[in-house]
């Protein structure tokens, strides 16, 4: 993720990981938007909207995500 705080974020089934912190999440897909609902951790009770802007990219209020392999 490039933006406010550049970092590597991993999205997996039922969880995310960033900066070594793993949080339980659920995902809701609405058109080109993916809403990540945080169910545990520092972001518990929060939701972040990611808008798909290409086959390997998304943007959010936190910054731009680019798929890396």
**pLDDT 10s digit of each residue in the chain, 69 long?**
887 778 899 999 999 999 899 999 999 999 999 999 999 988 999 999 999 999 999 999 888 999 987
pTM (2 d.p.): 0.85
C-alpha span between 16 and 11 (Å, rounded): 5
Question: Which tokens belong to 10?
Answer: 């991993």
pLDDT score of 50: 96
CA max distance for the chain:
30
Domain locations in the chain as residue ranges = 2-66
Dump strand ranges (E) for 1-69.
Answer: 2-3, 9-12, 15-18, 21-30, 33-38, 47-54, 57-60, 63-66
Measured between alpha carbons, how far is residue 35 from residues 40, 66, 69 in Å?
Answer: 15, 17, 23
pLDDT score of 2: 82
pLDDT score of 3: 75
């Amino acid at each position: 993720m490039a933006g406010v705080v550049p970092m590597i974020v991993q999205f997996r089934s039922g969880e995310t990981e960033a900066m070594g912190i793993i949080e339980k999440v659920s995902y809701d897909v609405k058109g080109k938007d993916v809403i990540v609902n945080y169910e545990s951790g520092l972001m518990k009770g929060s939701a972040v909207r990611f808008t798909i802007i290409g086959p390997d990219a998304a943007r959010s209020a936190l910054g731009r995500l680019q798929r890396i392999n």
